Amino acid sequence: MVSKNPKIVAFCCEESGMPAYEHAVSLGLDLPDGLKVVALPCGGKAETGYLMKALDEGADAVMVFACYEGNCKYVRGNIRAEKRVNYLRERLEKIGLSPEKIVFCPVAPASGQRFAELVQREVDTLLGA
Amino acid sequence: MSGQQAVLRIPAGTSELKEVSIQPSVIVAGDHPAGLLMAEHLADLGVAVTLMVPFPTLEEVVAPYRVIASADESVAGLLQEVAERVSQHAGITRVTQADLVDISGWWGDFSVQARIGEDLKTFHTSGIAMAYRGNPVDLPGIPVQEGVLPFTDFLSGINLQTGALAGKAESPKQVVFLLDAGERDEKWASVAAIRVGVFLKRKFGTQVFILCRELKVSVDEMEQDYRAARESGIIVFKYRQTPRVEKGSGGLRVVFEDAAAISSHGPSEITLDALDVVVAQERLGLSEDRAEVLRKLRIPLEDGVAGPNNPQFTGRTPKKGVVVAGDAWFPEYPTDAAMTALSAAQELYKWVGKGTYQVDAYRVAEVDPSKCATCLTCFRICPHDSIRVERYGERNVYITQGAKEGATWEAARVKIETCDGCGLCASECPAKAIQLIYYPDMEVLDFLAKNL
């Protein structure tokens, strides 16, 4: 059962996700209190262990914020992250959990608005489910 | 409430700087004029440059661009004397009839094997710049037949005095430039077709038609040149589907549907007949052996060129200390290619020019050799090619460490100088043998345990 204030862990690429989060904060956009932000040097560093550990510790959802395809500073880190997330979503479905618990979100560094929207959408999905 | 969230940031500070000495030496290899420009620029900055060209003289590097240079002053200004200047430059060691065969090593210590004439010779250098000309990969959608020429062949085959093509006595009367059939967004041919077209029309009276999907004019002074082309009688058509090229009466015939025609006025098919030459914009890519050299350095190629992989870094590759310019980067008009070459040379100078370099030995990954199973996962994943398993046993023979003298597989090792600390290897290592020194897994896991 998801509480009214879901816990969401956002793994943010240092090049895109983190600036987007900071942009959202500087714009004063509404972000849920349950949001925990973990900066990573690259979206591709969001390893399966981190994502599953977060769910294991009681997070309601995990989001990976990385760069758009073709924009990765490390050539293919974002593609790796996306593949990993898709793999985990499959696994979650197989063990009977909602795949919406792990999502991959490409963002641009200056898109705080989109960051906040994506987090809000995730909250809505969780509460609606 | 915003700004109230728990945030784990990447630890800054406590950088462990390590001084690395780098010989300011560079090998510039290739058959594109961008190579000459890079060599000159780096030599002027005081770097010891070895220039390798696959021809007996440097003149041949710029020779295929002579026609563009006579049609366009800005290209002439770039290329006219560069071969001469480079061939007399005191800071450049010139090696002719040489081509790169193999490259190994890292930034600061590359081992380069080159074929010089018949011999193989090994060079050592700190940085490498490659400037290759593209080879025609294909003429998309256009059957090869007599009178159909790839654009680069047309440019290099034309005689500047008579306007005649190789093997012909007179200049062609009617020429069609057929652009954009390849659907790759390259503007060099649009620019070259307009400028060379005006040159041919004015000097030899050749009637020039340009067939394209989009005429790309986003180049300096291109608006004036386009106007000059219209005024001198060059006719530009936009086509819908790739035009048909067939044998006609007294030459080639090109048939296409005019995209600008109004359909209610009946069929809009246009036929150009009695053409001497159809010049088709080919797709340019690296030849197989040159692509192989880049692949060995683990520089990803897309469509046969290195550019589109990271468009934000002009001339730069993921491999530190290696830059790529010319058509090997992306097929560009000579003035644009020169800009790419200069920024690539600047990038290389940043890495090798100073003599010594400070490397952050803290913001890197580290392998625990006792856990490493030498599965080569990290090697496949590293975008900078900076993690390697250094010594191999016999193929497919797995021997645990220290089990047998002389046949051990050593653990993977990170080359600190070129590691960027992105953590991709650490995240994929199945044995969890790799950790980022500055940001170990425990920090993230502790944060999660504490805050959830």
Topology (CATH level 3) of domain B137-283: FAD/NAD(P)-binding domain (3.50.50)
Query: In chain B, where are the structural domains located?
Result: 20-134+286-358, 137-283, 363-451
Residues of A in contact with B422 (CB under 8 A): 41-42, 44-45, 73-74, 77
**Segment 1-30 of chain B within 8 Å of chain A by CB:** 1-10
Q: CA B327 from chain center: how many Å? A: 5
Considering chain B, what percentage of its residues have pLDDT values greater than 70? 92
Query: Do B137-283 and B363-451 fold alike per CATH?
Result: no
Residues of B in contact with A82 (CB under 8 A): none
A 10 A CB-CB count for B124 gives 12
pLDDT at residue B309 is higher than 70? no
Q: Which of these, B210, B198, B201, lies nearest to B281 by C-alpha position?
A: B210
Q: What is the pLDDT of residue B395?
A: 46
CA–CA distance, B198 with B231 (Å, rounded to integer): 9
* B11 → chain A, closest CA residue: A39
pLDDT at residue B1 is higher than 60? no
> Could you report the per-residue pLDDT of B45-96, keeping only the tens digit for each?
999 999 999 999 999 999 889 889 988 888 888 888 899 999 999 999 999 9
B402: confidence class by pLDDT, cuts 50, 70, 90: very low
Tell me the average pLDDT across B295-308: 84
Q: Is B420 on the interface with A (CB under 8 A)?
A: yes
- Between A and B, how many CB-CB pairs are < 8 A? 109
Q: What is the pLDDT of residue A47?
A: 92
Higher pLDDT pick, B411 / B8: B8
What per-residue string of b and e applies to B228-249 under the rule 16 or more CB within 10 Å gives b? bbeeeebebbbbeebbebeeee
* CATH 2.60.40.1220 corresponds to the domain B363-451: no
CA B135 to chain A, closest CA, distance in angstroms equals 25
Give how far Cα B7 sits from Cα of A67, A97, A120, B11, B451, Å. Answer: 19, 27, 18, 12, 10
> Could you report the per-residue pLDDT of A51-86, keeping only the tens digit for each?
999 999 999 999 999 999 888 888 889 999 999 999
Which residues are within 8 A (CB) of B354 and not within 5 positions of it... i.e. 6 or more apart? B22, B24
Q: What is the pLDDT of residue B408?
A: 52
CA–CA distance, B278 with B153 (Å, rounded to integer): 12
Average predicted confidence (pLDDT) for chain B:
86
Please classify residue B268 by burial: count the beta carbons closer than 10 Å to its beta carbon, then call 0-12 exposed, 13-18 middle and 19+ buried.
Answer: middle
Please classify residue B145 by burial: count the beta carbons closer than 10 Å to its beta carbon, then call 0-12 exposed, 13-18 middle and 19+ buried.
Answer: exposed
CA B309 to chain A, closest CA, distance in angstroms equals 7
A72: amino acid identity, one letter: C
Domains of chain A: 8-119 (3.40.50)
pLDDT at residue B399 is higher than 50? no
Q: Which CATH superfamily is domain B20-134+286-358 in?
A: FAD/NAD(P)-binding domain (3.50.50.60)
> Could you report the per-residue pLDDT of B280-293, keeping only the tens digit for each?
898 888 999 899 99
**Segment 298-327 of chain B within 8 Å of chain A by CB:** 300, 308-312, 318
Contact call for A74 and B7, based on CB within 8 A: no
Crossing angle of helices A48-56 and B441-451, in 10° steps, is: 20
Q: What are phi and psi of B349, to 5 degrees?
A: -60, -40
pLDDT at residue B106 is higher than 50? yes
pLDDT at residue A37 is higher than 50? yes
| Identity of the residue in B421, B427, B449 whose CB atom sits nearest the CB atom of A47 | B427
